[in-house]
Structure formats: structure tokens, C-alpha cells
Amino acid sequence: MASLTQLKLAMATSIFLASFIFSLFMVGIIFLLQYYVFGFDLWLGLLLTLGGIGLFILFQYLIGPAVVAATARLNYLKPGENQWLESTVKELAEKSGVPMPRLALVPDQTPNAFVFGTSAKSATLAVHEGLLRTLNKDEIRAVIAHELGHVRHRDFIVMTVLSALPLIAYMIAQFAMRAGMYSSYSRRRDREGNAGAVLLLIGVVSFIVYLITFLSVRWLSRLREHYADAYSAYLTGSPRSLASGLAKITYGLSISPKAPEGARAFYIGDPAQAKQEIREIMESKSEYDLDRDGVLDERELELAMEREAKSVWVTMNSWFATHPPTFKRILLLREIEQEMATGKYTADRVYARV
């Protein structure tokens, strides 16, 4: 039986493990570079490197929201500009006990939404125009409640900080591998032959650290989506609305001609993952088209998603995904709906099915 404490513990554990592994990794790199390549003072190099990493993470944390706002081409809503959306968000925010987020529309016809910011008080809730056009009002309410769940859990802040670590490791891996391949000298002539090999070793280790931190961040990203889904079901009292909304979002994203872009982990639906999910189903369309009419109806599509979600390939592929498979999210919401029907679903059991 899951609880919000477990999500907080998972976030804290992810931060600790990623930071601990990354710190050991950086200490090793500084030692090798100091000894074999540059010859600078070990402690000075360590201080400068860790200080630089700290500044990079702080820079991403502070500047990230501005970058997201610019790349998403947000149109911030003025009071009264969209009264229904504004009143709905205000109602759910008050019910949730979180500050009213700043509202913005994204001029994008794909159905999606996301929340970002440096704190719960400075959060921005961005809604794609395609979401308002594709989903009905109950489904939109459920999506808004999902995003407010992220605000309440404050997991979007943790994701902003953690996402910097794999990026740094990847950048170091790229630089070290290229430098190692083309390096032919070092400051110390007696170690000249070792410099290139050391840089290549650093590149390999950096890539391993990148994979570990990357998988850790992706695992937390998937977990937080389940928690936000459960919170939406609790806040709206309508798990079915979010389930149908997720199905529409996945399908809508899958047929979009646009290439996936931006910080996909922050969206309620990952465009790249949606395209992959639907493509795999359509490749086996004849197997799932039970009535042989050439079209997958709602029941056939659900059956297809259920079978695909159980495959070994999909399970392994999901390790690298930002979101859980859509059907697993829908299955969780169905379990919550069944529990609600019994009258036993209370505030202390919001995350019991996660």
C-alpha cells in the first residue's frame, strides 16, 4: 500500500543516490585528470569542478522555467480571458490546498498540458489549445487535477534539479571520448602515452554514470505520474474522466505530424512514447481487430493496449520511458474506480493502489 510519504522517500532516495554516485564519479575524474593529464592541484581542481557543477544545476533551476516558457511559446492568460478554465483551476487549487498557478495557453493543436516552475507558489500551468479542443470538460478537469497533483507533491521541482545530472555526465562523456581519440600529448611528457587512454576511460565511465542517473530520473518520472493520476482521481472523484482523457491524449499525440520536442517528462503525455505505443498496436492491427471491420473500436484498442503492456519488449522499453504505458495508467484508475464504488476510498487511501 503506497502513500505520499513513499513518493517523498523515492524523491529523496533518487536525489541522494544520483548525487552520491555523481560525486564519486567527479572525484575520480578529478584525480585521474590531475595525475595523468593536467597536473593541477587535486583539491583546487575538485573545488572548481564541484563548484561549477553546483552553479550549472542552480542555473538550470533558475533559468529553466524561462527557457520552457520561451520554447513552448506560452501565452499567459489575463484575468477573465478564459473564465471557465480560470474558475476550474481556481476551484481545484482551493480544494487541493495549493496556490493558484499562473495560467498559460500553448498555441499547439496536440492535446497536452504540463506544470513547471521553481516552487509551488511560482508554478505555471500550461494547457495546449489542442487539449481544450479535443477533451470534454470533465476530462479537462481531470487533467488539471493531475497537474495540480504535481504541484502538491512538488515533484516537478525535484525533476528540474535531477535532470541536470545525466546531462552533465553525458556532456563529459562526449568531451572525454572525443578528446581521448584525438589527444596526442599532455603536459607531462613522461605520461604522454597515458593521457589519451585516461580520457577514453573517463568517457566510458561517464557514459555509465549517465545511464545510471538517466534511468534513476526516468524511474522517478514514471512513479510521479502514477501518484498524480491517483491524486486526480481523488480530487475530482472521477477516475474514468482521466482514463478517457489519457486515451484521447495518447491517440492525439500519436497522429501528430510534429516531431516530439521540449522537456517531455513534464507533460501529462509524452509525444514520442504515444507514437511508439500506437505504432506497435497498429503493426499488429489484424490480431486485435476482432470483428474484422478494419477499424479498432474502443474495446479492441483497450485490449490491444493491455496485451502490449504485458509484453517483455514493452516492459524493457519502459525502463527508458518518461511515463508509464497508457494502459497501466488506465488500469490503476479502474482499480481506484472500483474501490470508490465500495465506499472505502478515503483520504488516507489516495495512493493505496499505486
Q: Which residues are catalytic?
A: 147
- Coil, helix or strand at residue 128: strand
Separation of alpha carbons 142 and 48, rounded Å: 47
Total Cβ atoms within 10 A of residue 293? 9
Q: Cα(13)–Cα(103) distance, rounded to whole angstroms?
A: 32
> Which of 261, 330, 280, 229 lies closest to 72 in space, CA to CA?
261
Cell numbers given for 157? 521541482
Is 169 in contact with 26 (CB distance < 8 Å)? no
CA–CA distance, 141 with 268 (Å, rounded to integer): 13
Query: Helix %, strand %, coil % for the chain, to 5?
Result: 70, 5, 25
User: Using the 8-state DSSP alphabet, how is residue 103 labeled?
Assistant: E
State how far the Cα of 172 lies from the Cα of 100, in Å rounded to an integer.
40
Taking the alpha carbons of 154, 241, 269, 312 in that order, is the dihedral positive or negative? positive
Among 231, 220, 319, which Cα is nearest to 8's? 220
> What is the helix (H) or strand (E) element at residue 4, kind and residue range?
helix 4-32
DSSP H or E segment with residue 176: helix 164-182
**Contact of 252 with 110, CB cutoff 8 Å:** yes
Residues 6+ apart with CB under 8 A from 337: 233, 239, 240, 243
Q: Which residue has the cell 523515492?
A: 10
Rounded to 5 degrees, what angle do the CA atoms 259, 265, 165 make?
Answer: 115
